[in-house]
Amino acid sequence: MTVTETELRTAMIAAAEQQLASSAGRDIATRAVCEAVGVSQPVLYRLFGDKRGLLDAVADAGFERYAALKAAQPATGDPVADLRAGWDQHMAFARENPALYQLMFAPRPQAHSGARARVFGLLEAQLVRCAAAGALTVAPGVAAQLILSANVGVALNLIAQPELFDSASLSGQMRDTVFGAVLTTAAAPAEPDPVSAAALRLRSQLRVAGTPALEPAEATLLEVWLDRIAGTVRRGR
């Protein structure tokens, strides 16, 4: 039976991930990957370019698994509760897939995987829902930067040095600290600049639901104005 290139790619990615998980040094040997699948090394070079390309493919496959978990988590009417559940789910993914998680999130020279950016996008989408509900004090992009940095930092430290960072309460304490910096609470004082807060909320509501009342160019212009009123920059969305 003829094996397609797609099937070969899938098999080699699976073999590489298995080797990565069983390696004490969190590394792979391309020769061993090829032997596990029953192909020669030129096949690997043709499909992935080099070892770095294979690792990028493993990381991107890890994102697909991560995204599937996120998709399986049903959205409720409480976006803040969903955000908290998302943090805990992220930590669970790291604990269950330590080698894969390190590959996805630890810096690698000249890596081209889009896994980290795509995870950021999923988080930002959750935060847009929070902003639309009036629960966010900063732009969704800024909040995503803060939350993902903290979430990844705790997870990588837990994986690298569990003897120092495997406190049962550490993840929850970090989550609550960061969330407290970007989310409103019932006991929070009145918003000092209600116009800016309203602009931020309206911009996020438009991103969630859109409006048929505006042409695309008009909607883009309105978003620029709302950004200006909210005191945020577009790249921080």
Token digits for 71? 């998709």
DSSP character string of 142-169? HHHHHHHHHHHHHHHHHHH-HHHH--TT
Q: Which range, of 56-70, 84-98, 165-179, 207-221, averages the lowest pLDDT?
A: 207-221
Is residue 195 pLDDT above 80, yes or no?
Answer: no
Q: Which residue has the tokens 């309105």?
A: 222
Of residues 84 and 216, more confidently modeled: 84
pLDDT digits (tens, 9 = 90+) for 40-55: 999 999 999 999 999 9
pLDDT digits (tens, 9 = 90+) for 57-110: 999 999 999 999 988 888 898 999 999 999 999 999 999 999 999 999 998 888
DSSP character string of 23-50? -TTS---HHHHHHHHT--HHHHHHHHSS
Torsions phi, psi for 183 (to 5 deg): -115, 150
Over range 191-197, report the average pLDDT: 68
pTM metric for this prediction:
0.76
Is residue 186 pLDDT above 60, yes or no?
Answer: no
Can you list the domains of the chain with their CATH numbers? 1-49 (1.10.10), 50-236 (1.10.357.10)
E-only strand ranges, 4-121 = none
Axis crossing angle, helix 216-230 with helix 194-209, rounded to the nearest 10: 150
Q: Which residue has the tokens 């049962």?
A: 168
Distance from C-alpha of 98 to C-alpha of 102, rounded to nearest angstrom? 6
